A and B are shown apart, each in its own frame.
Chain A
Amino acid sequence: MPKSQEANEAEASQAAIQIENVSRHYTMGESSIRAVDDVSLTIPTGEFLALLGSSGSGKSTLLNLMAGLDRPTSGSILSGGRNLAELSPLELARYRRNTVGMVFQSFNLLPRMTLEENVELPLRLAEVERSERGARVQEALERVRLAKRTGHRPSELSGGEQQRTAIARALVNRPKILFADEPTGNLDSATGEAILTLLREIQASMGMTIVMVTHERHLAEKFADRLATMGDGKLLTTLDSQRSGDGARQ
């Protein structure tokens, strides 16, 4: 049953992201691959959503679409009242810069920069005044409990520390939504849990929406509010995790 327009708009104003009938097709030679196939999903503000699925299920493609790194072939992605599919490249860059933060499986820190400089990078892109930057970087690093080793380069840090730096970098512009693509994929299970605990804390303290792609169901169940499972580009199921029952949802 299609929803009425008013209901749609009301939902969109509360939702951090609202995906409607989104598809993303790639053409490889003569064949067309439907990486994301007609997906609709609403993510309320402040939710910690886990996107589950086997590799090739389309979960990362959907994340990239929501993060403004890619554009859908059809459908709309509403965030903050704007349809990402219709934004100009420059507006999309601003959306990535100011509204969202991204954390990757392989951290993607710039190897020749120190921790501090890596975290400062989004501030440079956002043209934040130099005088403000130091405090903002410090604040972000304290939030991930890495305020000490700021002069080190990424290669001198452990995987967990690198991922915490990446989270600090994602937070430094105070985004509304944090996207995490397999954030624990390169970490041992204890460190992975520590990282997700940290994300959970940040979500609670900053009132942030978090969308995490993972294939580790037990971690998703433990930390996320809701699990969305994908297969063959389609959204198969969404269900509330056990956490949501005990009032963990903000």
Chain B
Amino acid sequence: MKLRDMTELAVRNLREAILRNSLTTLGVAVGVASLVAMLSLGAGLQQLATSRLSKSGLFDSIFVTAKSNSRGPGSGPPATRTPAAKARPLDEAARAEITKLPNVIEVYPQIRFFTEVRFDGKPFATMVAGMPESSKLTGSFDGMQGKFFSSANADEAILQSEFAKELNTQTSSLIGKDLVLRYAERQALPADAAAAGAQGSGGFSVVPKEKHLRIIGVVETEPASGFGGFGSGRLLIPVLVAETLRAAQVNDLRDVVRDSASDKPAYMSLTVRVKSPSLVDSTEAKIKELGFGAFSLLDASKSLRIFFSVFDLLLGIFGSLALAVATLGIINTLVMAILERRREIGVLKALGAADSDVKQLFFVEAGVMGLAGGILGVIFGWMIGAVLTFATNVYLKRQDLPGVEIFAVPWWLISGAIGFAVLVSLIAGLYPASRAAKLNPVDALRYE
């Protein structure tokens, strides 16, 4: 029999025992819904976690330092080192070289210094931190008052809200106003002075300076901008502006103590952001080849992925339990149908239906129930997810937290769930179908 005829007959048969078949289909739908709900929750939480974490810059960043000579034998056997792997200063040239590496988005130094700010004629002490352009994408600035820096070198400042409250309790009124940053500029000693010095390199003098900045925004917390970003910067300025300030930093003292290999100013460390966490490994290796120390938190993201795989698996198993019960329902329904339709099977065989025709007819009936249950189940599952998201967001709103999407129903899950439901139904139909096909037509026709 052709598939179209088969399907027509199957649907007709299913309609005949509409209540029983609807209930069976509903069972499949509930099974699929629980599977979809569980997996969507898993997928949603994973998406939430990975997007938050990758935005945070923790997993797509590489922390680069100059390879220190002072570590001695711990830094590796000298015999294996290629000339390129020799310790190099982390200077402007090095930064340009790293920037040119494939997949690198941004290379920026960690700049933070403690200084004094004058606002409205009053002095305030605070920590200043340079913000790279990419920190805009971290999500930390999403709910801010005002806006992000208009350009990479704008003389603008974003205040951390605690600090903003110190300036004015009405933080929104601060936006658009100016403040003065008083800082100590690091100036290299004149060449003759350097020559006069015993070592000559790394010497500098400190000159007090001022910088006018316009307040353009207030943010809840400083984004964790890569490594070393955990210190609480309270006055945020574009990293390019921070660099031009050449402000004396805490770690400058170490430069003095250390025997720097170059006369040029060198960075303590650079943070390299790559396009995606998966590119961290290869880029890290390339940076090491250039002769710098590099370090990333990728391992943590790997563990996260493993965690979510196991989490999804467990959710999937629990979701599948309901579907397993639904499978038994399909078997039961079809076995009942064979008993009821024994005579009909006999008639079909007398009219020339082959065993395979009868088998396929029951198979298609199981498949149709699976398909209908699968589609219905995806809709139910999606509704469960919508309700869960709604309830979670109501709760978060009460806690004054921004809303989140804890639920994701990706296309693969929709098609996968429907496909799985059909497959499971077909497997459930195997036994009833072969039993129906094996019926002896003479016995079946005699059956009243």
Option from A64, A96, A110 in Cβ contact (under 8 Å) with B352: A96
Contact A89 B355 (CB under 8 A): yes
8 Å CB interface, B318-363 against A: 343-344, 346-357
Contact A108 B350 (CB under 8 A): yes
Interface locus among A45-53, A77-85, A123-131: A123-131
Q: Closest CB of chain B to A182's CB: distance in Å?
A: 12
Interface residues of chain B: helix, strand, loop or mixed (majority): helix
Interface locus among A97-105, A138-146, A228-236: A97-105
**Chain A residues, Cβ within 8 Å of B351:** 96-97, 102, 121-122, 125, 169
Closest partner residue, chain B, to A96 (CB atom): B352
**Chain A residues, Cβ within 8 Å of B354:** 89-90, 93-94
Contact B16 A125 (CB under 8 A): no
Report the Cα distance A96→B355, complex, angstroms.
Answer: 13
Known pairs A69-B441, A108-B343, A124-B9; A102 contacts B353 (CB<8 A): no
A152 within 8 A of B: no
Give 1 or 0 for each of B415-441: 1 = CB within 8 Å of chain A CB: 000000000000000000000000011
Known pairs A64-B442, A125-B1; A98 contacts B352 (CB<8 A): yes
Contact B1 A110 (CB under 8 A): no
Report the Cα distance A173→B353, complex, angstroms.
Answer: 13
Closest partner residue, chain A, to B344 (CB atom): A110
Report the Cα distance A70→B440, complex, angstroms.
Answer: 8
Q: Closest CB of chain A to B390's CB: distance in Å?
A: 44
Contact A69 B349 (CB under 8 A): yes
Report the Cα distance A157→B158, complex, angstroms.
Answer: 88
A112 within 8 A of B: yes
Report the Cα distance A102→B353, complex, angstroms.
Answer: 13
Report the Cα distance A122→B356, complex, angstroms.
Answer: 15
A67 within 8 A of B: yes
Report the Cα distance A35→B313, complex, angstroms.
Answer: 60
Q: Give the total of A residues in contact with B, Cβ under 8 Å.
A: 25
B254 within 8 A of A: no
Interface centre among B2, B346, B351, B445 (most CB of A within 10 A): B351
Q: Closest CB of chain B to A36's CB: distance in Å?
A: 13
Report the Cα distance A69→B350, complex, angstroms.
Answer: 7
B5 within 8 A of A: yes
**Chain A residues, Cβ within 8 Å of B356:** 90
Report the Cα distance A90→B349, complex, angstroms.
Answer: 11
Closest partner residue, chain A, to B5 (CB atom): A124
B100 within 8 A of A: no
Report the Cα distance A102→B1, complex, angstroms.
Answer: 19
Contact B352 A97 (CB under 8 A): yes
Contact A70 B442 (CB under 8 A): yes
Closest partner residue, chain B, to A179 (CB atom): B350
Closest partner residue, chain A, to B350 (CB atom): A102
B12 within 8 A of A: yes
Known pairs A108-B343, A112-B16, A124-B5; A94 contacts B352 (CB<8 A): yes
Contact B353 A93 (CB under 8 A): yes
Give 1 or 0 for each of A58-70: 1 = CB within 8 Å of chain B CB: 0000001001011
Contact A125 B348 (CB under 8 A): yes
**Chain A residues, Cβ within 8 Å of B348:** 121, 125
Closest partner residue, chain B, to A95 (CB atom): B352
**Chain A residues, Cβ within 8 Å of B350:** 67, 69, 96, 102, 104, 108
Contact A110 B347 (CB under 8 A): yes
Report the Cα distance A122→B16, complex, angstroms.
Answer: 21
8 Å CB interface, B10-56 against A: 12, 16
Closest partner residue, chain B, to A123 (CB atom): B5
Contact B1 A124 (CB under 8 A): yes
Contact A93 B9 (CB under 8 A): no
Closest partner residue, chain A, to B343 (CB atom): A108
**Chain B residues, Cβ within 8 Å of A113:** 12
**Chain B residues, Cβ within 8 Å of A64:** 442
Closest partner residue, chain A, to B354 (CB atom): A93
Report the Cα distance A231→B89, complex, angstroms.
Answer: 114
7 closest residue pairs by CB, A with B: A97-B352, A93-B354, A124-B5, A96-B352, A108-B347, A69-B441, A122-B351
Binding site for A on B (CB under 8 A): 1-2, 5, 9, 12, 16, 343-344, 346-357, 440-442, 445
A sample of 30 inter-chain contacts (CB < 8 A) reads A64-B442, A67-B350, A69-B349, A69-B442, A69-B445, A70-B442, A90-B355, A93-B352, A93-B354, A93-B357, A94-B354, A97-B351, A97-B352, A98-B352, A104-B350, A104-B445, A108-B350, A108-B445, A122-B352, A124-B1, A124-B2, A124-B5, A124-B9, A125-B348, A125-B351, A125-B352, A127-B1, A127-B2, A127-B5, A173-B352
